[in-house]
Amino acid sequence: MQGNFSLINFITTCVGFCFFFKKCGVKVWYGLIPGYREYKLSEIGNRKSEGKSYLFYSILSTIAIVAFEISSAMDEQNGLTDPGILTQWFALIYVIIIVPLLVYSIRIYIGVCERFGKSKWWIVLWIFMDWIVMLFWSLRKDFQPSAAEVIEDIPDSGITSTGSGTELTVNITDRTVKTLMSSRTLLKDIHLKVKPGHMVLLLGGSGAGKTTFLNAITGYEKANAEIELGTENIYKNYEQLKHSIGFVPQQDLMRGSDTVYCTLSDAAALRIPKSVPVAERKQRIDEVLDIFGLGMLKSSLVDKLSGGQRKRLSIAMEYISDPKLFILDEPDSGLDGVVAKSLFKKLREIADQGRIVIVITHTPDRVADMFDDVIVLAKDHDRTGRLTYFGSVDEVFSFFGKDSFEKILTAINQKEEGGEGRADELVKKYNSMMQSKTVGGETA
């Protein structure tokens, strides 16, 4: 009886998928293949990445079920009345796999609902009676998918950036994270070079890979990439170059009970090579205190500083080693407009001394005049961070056809995030533009 029910369930599900695929212009016979049909459903809902993950876990669940059935049969042959240890383990593995399957199926159904312009409450029915929902949607003439977006894999740009010996040269093939059961590409095909003396804005929506990009170029989280600072490869010579790279995180890690001078002195002990004489180290501390306007506050406790003063101290801690590459993650977070503007003027001065300064800020329009270049990252249809633009601030607005950075973000953000969903289009446009400037596969 149970076998008959399983067969009926399989047939009805296949029928539901086949009718639904016919309505959506997908080959009907795909509805006969469990796992792969959900992947095709994800393409209908523009959730291809989720579909790949669902397919992977679907294969694992099938393997677990087969292993469970074989183990159960062996238990019966051995005369066991209760499931053996191995059978119990296979059952447990199957139950664990069910969780990500459910999560990814919900995401796929959300995409389908969005494609058809229907309420996400339909998801409840999709989960428990997917074939009935599919038949219902297939037969209803007023249930029609919106015009399909042509989503194709974006080919690699084929570009390689080459430096002349003084720039930051970035050639990231990809940055992929792997887990026991899946992998995900966070960044892909990013090639650029930044000249010394340039202050660069790093722009991108949530999840576009900004932090991943910074971690990759600093060597904190290595990518499949070639990163060079001047003539030195950062990955191969990290120990020698780590003091040439300054990174200021959004949240500082300073002890409130320490004085300003003590805080900077501790930073100097960590970031300035041991070979530097003590007298030179003290002289450097005094210089940096003056540069950031903290000389009069060197005996003050960190907890007594204002927000702007505390931020200047956190920057001074990284600046103490006189880095060639200076990276800051939202240095103006929590600061009012006047204080933030003053801070960016200081960063502009640092860049003008021949250093490379890269900054993430959530309020780029109020300090746009401070930057030379802008890097724009966006999530493509696979939710992979891609380079959408790198070039001068003067030309970025023309490229995107927008008059502010806020509107650029709206253009590249996905539709479900309130954006225009044009990331794929703009990545292709940028690649095409760069290829027209390329000679022999290297940037001119």
What string of DSSP letters covers 209-227?
A: SHHHHHHHHHTSS--EEEE
Q: Identify whether the C-beta of residue 85 lies closer than 8 Å to the C-beta of residue 48.
A: no
| CB neighbourhood size of 308 (10 A) | 18
154 inside domain: no
The CA distance from 351 to 295, in Å, is 22
Do 180 and 250 have their domain in common?
yes
Do 67 and 213 have their domain in common?
no
158 inside domain: no
- Residue 325: pLDDT band (50, 70, 90) is very high
| CB neighbourhood size of 215 (10 A) | 19
Residue that is last in its domain, among 99, 121, 139:
139
In this structure, what CATH number is given to the domain that contains residue 218?
Answer: 3.40.50.300
The CA distance from 87 to 70, in Å, is 9
pLDDT value of residue 180: 56
Global confidence as pTM: 0.70
Using the Cα atoms of residue 135, residue 136, residue 140 and residue 146 in order, give the sign of their dihedral.
negative
Q: For the chain, what is the mean pLDDT?
A: 83
The CA distance from 281 to 287, in Å, is 10
Do 103 and 175 have their domain in common?
no
Do 249 and 336 have their domain in common?
yes
The string of DSSP codes covering 41-88 is HHHHTT-HHHHHHHHHHHHHHHHHHHHHHHHHHHHHHTT-SS--HHHH
pLDDT value of residue 148: 47
Which of 247-256, 355-364, 381-390 has the least mean pLDDT?
247-256
Do 279 and 366 have their domain in common?
yes
Q: Identify whether the C-beta of residue 428 lies closer than 8 Å to the C-beta of residue 154.
A: yes
155 inside domain: no
Q: Identify whether the C-beta of residue 25 lies closer than 8 Å to the C-beta of residue 148.
A: yes
Q: Both tokens of residue 163? A: 């430096």
Do 247 and 297 have their domain in common?
yes
Domain that holds residue 88: 2-139
Residue that is last in its domain, among 139, 158, 178:
139
Residue that is last in its domain, among 139, 155, 182:
139
Do 184 and 128 have their domain in common?
no
Do 246 and 99 have their domain in common?
no
162 inside domain: no
pLDDT at 444 over 70: no
153 inside domain: no
150 inside domain: no
Do 184 and 304 have their domain in common?
yes
Do 118 and 178 have their domain in common?
no
Report the number of distinct structural domains present in the chain: 2
Candidate ranges 46-55, 119-128, 314-323, 369-378; pick with highest mean pLDDT? 369-378
Do 345 and 233 have their domain in common?
yes
131/280: higher pLDDT: 280
Q: Where are the alpha helices (DSSP H) in 117-202?
A: 122-128, 130-139
429/240: higher pLDDT: 429
Strands 356-360 and 325-329, sheet pairing: parallel
Do 394 and 315 have their domain in common?
yes
